[in-house]
Amino acid sequence: MPSQPHAKRLLVALALAACSAPPPPTAVDPAVDGQRILAHTRFLASDLLEGRGPGTRGEQLARAYIASQLQLAGCQPGCADGGFMQPVPILGITTQVTAPFVAKGAAGEATLQAVDDYTAVAGSTAATAAWRDAELVFVGYGITAPEQRWDDYGGVDVRGKVLLVMNDDPSDDPARFGGKARLYYGRWTYKYEEAARRGALGAIIIHTSPSAGYPFQVQQASHGRENFWLPFRADQPTLAIRSWASEDAARRLCALGGHDLDALRLKAAAAPFAPLPLGVRVSMDIANAVREIPSANVVGLLPGSDPALAGEHVVVSAHWDHLGVGKPRNDDAIYNGAVDNAVGCAGLLELARALGALPTRPRRSVLFVATTAEESGLLGAAWFAANPTVPAASLVANFNVDGLNVWGVTHDLEFIGHGKNSLTALAEQVAAARGRRIEPDSNPENGLFYRSDHFHFARIGVPAAYFKAGRDFLDRPEERRRMKGSYTTVHYHQPSDEVAPWWNMQAAADDLGLIAACLRRAADADEPPTWTPGDEFAAARGK
């Protein structure tokens, strides 16, 4: 038996230890299984589903599979009609170039070749559209942003013109446009939207791999195939033709008018800038085949356990679609989309199973939304954000799963949109408890925050978290970084994006497990997540 002084010291030590130790967890973290993720992915990325293109048999199989797995996980139907499917009306438009892209200037004439030099898709449901000897105008970044003190149009009338525009935003001034971090102004979708608002006839975006974040072959894959849209609104201006040009083709276009592309880009980077007619006229005809496609988001609901908070919803999103069957590459025409995004959908299903298997479910309800037509401009997410299956005000957070780490276990996990909302701090706490760390996006210039489904949740004020694989690999770091980098340069949006025998499912499970713990804490917290004061999406929360 210890002496009285020793016993007293022992009691004091125990009391101090109790005070300094972290409080016991209030709930068990969901346990995820890498082999379950792999099993879901194998089915969703199999040739049987033919690339999960919207409006195909592959879509029907993918949606039926996801709905059945959500039900097995304990989810209830998440739509008002008592089903798992939220109908999303989609227009499929297939564009054929019927008269070639011809450009004329003082230095001569050039005929551009699809798809080596350019791509062209319709911007409306018109049966035909054309550029007929239309004036080509260089508009720099094509941005009008009063709050950034930037206007590339400068009041110049560009109605009826075809615009040549850079795919980026200014990055030299850290006080504007987030410095190196790209804002929505730098996205190609904004370029087309602003050109249409200005009454332009069409727009040609100059592709570079650094500004796009992927090689030109990704854009080439969209040419001549069916592209998808939500129904056009009467008050929504459109472009007759939306085009991309390779950097080399853009140089040739500028040279026809006696201009140097590099010099033009340097001039555009310095405000103020005024649109510059290039002294070039362009012509091209297209014909469009249009069809209505009955597509859908798949929505499942895991009810919350706290009557006071069950009316609030944390959303987990992942897109089920990919590019379907397209131009053959190495005798393979099925664009399986294993990493993008069969594995992300598999992650959504595994999160649903893991949460549904908990002894006590999260306090808030969790809504699982597998979206359609993400690859065509985040269409399913846009539709859900505009037509949520639960009150919009009840959506308190979004965890988006678009891809998972299949390359190797890492010390870190990248948070896209790091610091934009309180989910960053939550993720950092969870990661630290697991001996890991959260890092900001290592390539902020690619504007990833605006390129996946969480963007549309952010636009309606829902704090969003989107994680990407880290770079600090535990073993063979240089080799694994090369493997990860080759995904974007070689396999992204190509038929070779398939399940591979070397996939590291422990890495996928580690990352998804961290996401699951963050999700659980957000769903259990007394107060919902918040935007960082002054963030671009903070004002939308109050609407």
For 361-410, write each residue's pLDDT tens digit. 999 999 999 999 999 999 999 999 999 999 999 999 999 999 999 999 99
Give pLDDT, residue 27. Answer: 65
Give pLDDT, residue 178. Answer: 80
CA-CA-CA-CA dihedral for 141, 147, 150, 154, to nearest 10: 100
Is the pLDDT assigned to residue 19 strictly greater than 50? no
Q: Supply the pTM of this predicted model.
A: 0.90
pLDDT band at 4 (very low <50, low <70, confident <90, very high): very low
Give pLDDT, residue 16. Answer: 34
Q: Can you list the alpha helix ranges (DSSP code H) found in 117-204?
A: 188-197
Is the pLDDT assigned to residue 77 strictly greater than 60? yes
pLDDT tens figures, 413-463: 999 999 999 999 999 999 999 999 999 999 998 899 999 999 999 999 999
How many degrees, rounded to 5, is the angle at CA 196 between CA 121 and CA 448? 70
Closest CA to 422 of 502, 530, 517, 318: 530
Same fold, 34-90+295-411+440-522 and 92-290: no
Report the alpha-carbon distance of residue 201 to residue 240 in Å, rounded.
6
State the CB neighbour count (10 A cutoff) for residue 274: 14
pLDDT tens figures, 479-501: 999 999 999 899 999 999 999 99
Residue range 517-543: mean pLDDT, rounded: 93
Residue range 292-306: mean pLDDT, rounded: 97
Q: Looking at per-residue confidence, does 292 or 14 come out higher?
A: 292
pLDDT band at 271 (very low <50, low <70, confident <90, very high): confident
The structure tokens listed for 472 are 């600090």
Phi first, then psi, for residue 380 (nearest 5°) are -65, -40
Residue range 464-471: mean pLDDT, rounded: 97
Give pLDDT, residue 24. Answer: 37
> Does residue 502 contact residue 338 with C-beta atoms inside 8 Å?
no
pLDDT band at 22 (very low <50, low <70, confident <90, very high): very low
Q: Which residues of 142-153 are buried (b: 16+ CB within 10 A; e: fewer)?
A: bbbbeebebbbb
How is domain 34-90+295-411+440-522 classified at the architecture level of CATH?
3-Layer(aba) Sandwich (3.40)
> Which residue ranges make up each domain of the chain?
34-90+295-411+440-522, 92-290
How is domain 92-290 classified at the architecture level of CATH?
3-Layer(bba) Sandwich (3.50)
Average pLDDT of the chain, as a whole number: 93
Give pLDDT, residue 542. Answer: 65
> Does residue 140 contact residue 186 with C-beta atoms inside 8 Å?
no
pLDDT tens figures, 85-143: 999 999 999 999 999 999 999 999 999 999 999 999 999 999 999 999 999 999 999 99
pLDDT tens figures, 204-248: 999 999 999 889 998 998 898 899 999 998 888 999 999 999 999
Give pLDDT, residue 414. Answer: 97
